[in-house]
Amino acid sequence: MRPILALLLLLLAAMAPSAAQAETGYDLWLRYQPLPEQRRAELRDEARYLVAQGSSDRLKVAAQELVRGMSGLQSGQLAVATSVDAPGAIVLGTPESSALVASLNLPLATLGTEGFLIRSVTMNGQRATVIAANRDVGLLYGVFALLKRAQLGESLRNLDISDRPKLQLRVLNHWDNLDRHVERGYAGQSIWDWQKLPGYKDPRYTDYARANASIGINGTVLTNVNANADVLRPEYIQKVKALAEVFRPYGIKVYLTARFSAPIEIGGMKTADPLDPAVAAWWKAKIDEIYAVIPDFGGFLVKANSEGQPGPNDYKRSHADGANMFADALRPHGGVVMWRAFVYAAENPDDRHKQAYTEFEPLDGKFRDNVLVQVKNGAIDFQPREPFHPLFGAMPKTPLMMEFQITKEYLGFATHLAYLGTMWEEVLQADTFRPRKGATVAKILEKPVDKGAVTGIAGVANIGSDVNWSGSQFDQANWYAYGRFAWDPEAKAEPIARDWARMTWGNDPAVVDPIVSMMMRSREAVVDYMTPLGLTHLMATGHHYGPGPWVADLARPEWNPVYYHKADANGIGFDRTASGSNGLGQYAPPLVRQWGDRKKVPEELLLWFHHVPWEHRTKSGRSVWDELVVRYDRGVDEVKRMQAQWDALRGKIDARRWEEVRDYLAIQHDEAKWWRDASIAYFQSVSKRPLPVGHAAPPHDLEHYKAIRTPYAPGSGE
Ligand code: GCW
């Protein structure tokens, strides 16, 4: 090839990536596409070169990311220099690693180990931007904060920003099995390719770490809470080590799930009794073995005595006995135990809503200080809407961790557009009234129970091997929003949606505004077409895909949707007041008063706490029966509106991603109709009431909906 032509081709190849390659979603919110011409020119002036002082791996990846991001946004390679002798430097360092940063005497004292500061300064007579932190991981977070501003097209002048996370442990929980099946996973297989580890480290692991670091996630539990003891065998510890090495520069620690019966299964012992010294010694040796290989291992997440998992109750020991055994062995290494409060057992005939509180509240103060009790956001199970879990505020001596579910087991899997930010904000801002008014769930999570006590939050990941990571473009927003709420539980869903939309789809308000409006209404739409007015858990058996409100034949009462709605000829809803199960009694007295009164309970929780007659008047003046039907239709209509809004964006968004979303919305619409039709057909067979005027009868009879089977729906438990 002639040299000139070769050069031209090279140039073209370097310039063309965005235009030539269809976007798949792989780049998530870190697309770093060139900004519009005017803003690009300004950015080139604001960020002309990087001066990174220090030599750690963390500083290195922070610098790499800054170069990558700025180069993409500016459409030209960001220069790297060793001194500040021209305007437009970005200076990166801690006071220890960088003489330049040290010379500024910046107020870093209150920023802790993970906080950062970004300031516009004059250095050596030159205009510069400094990113400073006490530790290198703060620099990484500072770099992502600056890149976010740049991605949003905002000016990098006159900056004076400082930030630090409000929670210490911000972890993802992967429900990933060693055979790569992901329980409740709708985004393909597990991204952990155990068979090829430790020899092959898929570059995707690095991109996973970058994405997580960009939103401040600092821990990952690699394995399913329905745990397999094999991951604790020496050969797997080597595989875990390989992942830990990839994640370490990004400030991410690895954790594993511990199967309680591992001493029996892989240790050859007869018992796993936590008070048996030989059992404790086995775990201690195992933990020492892990730390010898992975010195910054984070610790264990444990699901015990729930849904058939082994646990301390098998030996008549308490959850505290079990958790403390691990805690004692982990403490010398600085590790923690995250002990799940999601417990319920077949033998227990009480309202399932009450079981976690009943078992855990009496244990307050009995756990070692490196134990966190991990509590789901609501007392049942990640439903489209639940009141906050009554344990929040009820265990003032125990660090409580929030567990959100990012993967949408009960909100339409990967195809339904449902932005969970609004749900999480609702839970975090809920007032527990414990010990008094104003004690929101967020505040309870943020405030250490003692000086130096640990705080944290977990999110069940929606990440898999799909090219777009999360199963759909819009499900990426839930991963993103989880990180933002983990960093700041006081955050608001709307600005988070807006930031995500701008970084993911572009800064044009004509694109961003409709997308944000779709997102902000989307979760309520799901509530409306699946489980309005406080109904819950009406999904089909096992895989939870599609409606099954009629299901009444499963062995355990609380596996059956009829257990949750209790609809009969007279009315509908679960009486959890004092005249019923009194699950309500687990909340603080002001809430018991408000929620216990049918007229005062927020309508969206009506049937969660009350069994009401079909003719019960709702706020609209309609009977509860009519209101249910109206809400089912409202949900379906909302999906139609989303479709129309998305259609109007054709041509404004790259074709591949636009088409994918269009098709998914069509699937969502069909399934919303399915939910609406099947639910109305069933409830009408019970209520025997006519549909309100203007609301169409389901196109098929109830038997049709009952006969629908989807045995191979993804994500099932095993
Ligand atoms: O949400 C339910 C799921 C189970 C899950 C369980 C849990 C991992 O249906 O698949 O098991 O909760 O949280 O432990």
Check pLDDT > 90 for residue 136.
yes
Give the position of tokens 């979303």. 661
* Coil/strand/helix, residue 244: helix
Q: Examine the pLDDT at 334 and tell me if it is beyond 60.
A: yes
Q: Is the pLDDT of residue 8 over 70?
A: no
Record the tokens describing residue 391, joined without a space.
């344990």
For residue 660, report the distance from its CA to the centre of ligand 1, in Å.
29
Which atom of ligand 1 is closest in space to residue 226's alpha carbon?
A: 8
Instruction: Report yes or no on 589 lying in a domain.
Output: no
- Out of 301, 342, 462, give the residue to mutate to test ligand 1, the one with the largest number of ligand atoms within 8 Å of its CB: 342
Mean pLDDT calculated for residue range 676-691: 98
Atom of ligand 1 nearest to the CA of 544: 9
Would residue 505 count as lying in a domain?
no
Q: Of all protein residues, whose CA lies closest to atom 2 belonging to ligand 1? A: 381
Does one domain contain both 180 and 271?
Answer: yes
How many structural domains are present in the chain? 3
In a domain, 516, yes or no: no
Q: How far is the CA of 431 from the centre of ligand 1 (A)?
A: 26
Choose, from 163, 381, 425, 671, the residue flagged as catalytic: 381
Q: Whole domain around residue 243: which residue ranges?
A: 169-499
Domain endpoint, select from 137, 163, 189: 163
Task: Give residues with Cβ within 8 angstroms of 426, minimum separation 6.
Answer: none
Over the stretch 406-448, which tens digit does the pLDDT of each residue have? 999 999 999 999 999 999 999 999 999 999 999 999 999 999 9
Q: What's residue 346's pLDDT?
A: 64
Cα within 13 Å of Cα(447), Cβ side: 13
As for ligand 1, residues whose beta carbon falls within 6 Å of it are: 175, 183-184, 225-226, 303, 307, 342, 381-382, 409, 717
Nearest CA to ligand 1 atom 7: 342
Contact in structure between 456 and 170 (CB atoms under 8 Å): yes
Co-location of 69 and 196 in the same domain:
no
Reading the block at residue 635, the tokens are 């949900």
| Statement to judge: residues 121 and 194 lie in one domain | no
Single out the catalytic residue among 85, 288, 307, 508: 307
The pLDDT confidence band at residue 223, using thresholds 50, 70 and 90, is very high
Q: Is a pLDDT exceeding 70 seen at residue 2?
A: no
- 347 catalytic residue (yes or no): no
Query: Which residue's structure tokens are 């109750």?
Result: 313
Q: Is 524 a catalytic residue?
A: no
Cis geometry, peptide bond prior to residue 198 (ω within 30 degrees of 0): yes
Quote the CA–CA distance of 335 and 325 in Å, as a whole number: 13
208: left (phi over 0), alpha (psi -120 to 50) or beta: alpha
pLDDT of residue 6: 43
Q: Are residues 153 and 194 in the same domain?
A: no
CB 651, CB 587: distance < 8 Å:
no
Same domain? For 531 and 432 the reply is no
At which of 133, 163, 193 does a domain end? 163
Please tell me whether residues 630 and 665 are part of one structural domain. yes
Probe residue for ligand 1, chosen from 176, 186, 259, 307 as the CB with the greatest number of ligand atoms within 8 Å: 307
| 604 falls within a domain | no
- The SS3 call for residue 119 is strand
In a domain, 423, yes or no: yes
Question: What atom of ligand 1 comes closest to residue 460's alpha carbon?
Answer: 13
Mutate to test the pocket of ligand 1, among 184, 382, 406 (most ligand atoms within 8 A of CB): 184
Ligand 1: centre distance to CA 211 (Å): 25
Q: What torsion do the CA atoms of 430, 434, 436, 442 make, to the nearest 10 degrees?
A: -40
CB under 8 Å to 351, separation ≥6 — which residues? Answer: 574, 576, 580, 581, 583
Q: Which two tokens stand for residue 321?
A: 């006995």
**How far lies 611's CA from each of 313, 591, 693, in Å?**
34, 18, 25
Instruction: Measure the CA–CA gap between 163 and 491, rounded to whole angstroms.
Output: 13
Helix 624-647 vs helix 509-530: angle between axes, to the nearest 10 degrees? 150
* Atom of ligand 1 lying closest to residue 376 CA: 13
The answer on 204 and 142 residing in a single domain is no
Give yes or no for residue 10 having a pLDDT over 60: no
Q: Which CATH number belongs to the domain containing residue 394 in this structure?
A: 3.20.20.80
Q: Please determine, for residue 20, whether its predicted confidence score (pLDDT) is greater than 70.
A: no
157 and 202 in one domain? Answer: no
User: Is pLDDT above 60 for 13?
Assistant: no
Ligand 1, atom 10, lies closest to the CA of 717
- The CATH number assigned to the domain holding 144 equals 3.30.379.10
Residues 519-533: tens digit of each pLDDT: 999 999 999 999 999
- Give CA–CA dist 240/464, Å, rounded: 18
What are 26-35's pLDDT values in tens digits? 999 999 999 9
- Do 558 and 659 fall into the same domain? yes
Query: Could you confirm whether 409 is annotated as catalytic?
Result: yes
Instruction: Give the C-alpha separation, 296 to 335, whole Å.
Output: 8
Q: How confident is the model at residue 718 (pLDDT cuts 50, 70, 90)?
A: low
β-bridge pairing 299-302 and 253-257: parallel
Return the residue whose CA atom lies nearest to atom 13 of ligand 1.
342
Q: Are 129 and 119 in contact (CB under 8 A)?
A: yes
For residue 7, what pLDDT is reported? 44
Report the nearest atom of ligand 1 relative to the CA of 382.
Answer: 1
What average pLDDT does this structure show over 99-114? 97
Last residue of a domain, one of 163, 181, 214: 163
- Asked whether the beta carbons of 640 and 634 are under 8 A apart, the reply is no
Q: How far is the CA of 240 from the centre of ligand 1 (A)?
A: 24
Å from CA of 184 to ligand 1 middle: 8
| 183 shares a domain with 149 | no
Atom number, ligand 1, closest to the C-alpha of residue 381: 1
In ligand 1, the atom with minimum distance to the C-alpha of 224 is 8
DSSP class of residue 558 equals: G
Q: Does residue 1 sit within a domain?
A: no
209-237 mean pLDDT: 98
Give distance in angstroms: CA of 449 to centre of ligand 1.
28
Assess contact for 253 and 297: CB atoms under 8 A. yes
Average pLDDT over residues 155-181: 98
Residues 343-354: pLDDT tens digits?
Answer: 987 677 789 999
Q: What is the mean pLDDT of residues 554-578?
A: 94
Find the 353 Cα to ligand 1 centroid distance in Å.
15
Phi, psi of 650 (to 5 degrees): -55, 135
Same domain? For 459 and 556 the reply is no
242 C-alpha to ligand 1 centroid (Å): 28
> Does residue 190 sit in the same domain as residue 156?
no
Centre of ligand 1 from the C-alpha of residue 112, in Å: 35
Catalytic residue among 65, 183, 403, 409: 409
Pocket mutation for ligand 1, best pick of 173, 226, 558 (most atoms within 8 Å of C-beta):
226
Dihedral sign computed on CA atoms, order 10, 11, 14, 16: negative
pLDDT tier for residue 94 given thresholds of 50, 70 and 90: very high
Shortest-distance Cα residue to atom 12 of ligand 1: 381
Report the nearest-CA residue for atom 1 of ligand 1: 381
Which residue, by CA, sits nearest to atom 4 of ligand 1?
Answer: 717
CATH code of residue 620: 3.90.1330.10
Residue 598 lies in a domain: no
How many angstroms does the Cα of residue 564 sit away from the middle of ligand 1?
A: 17
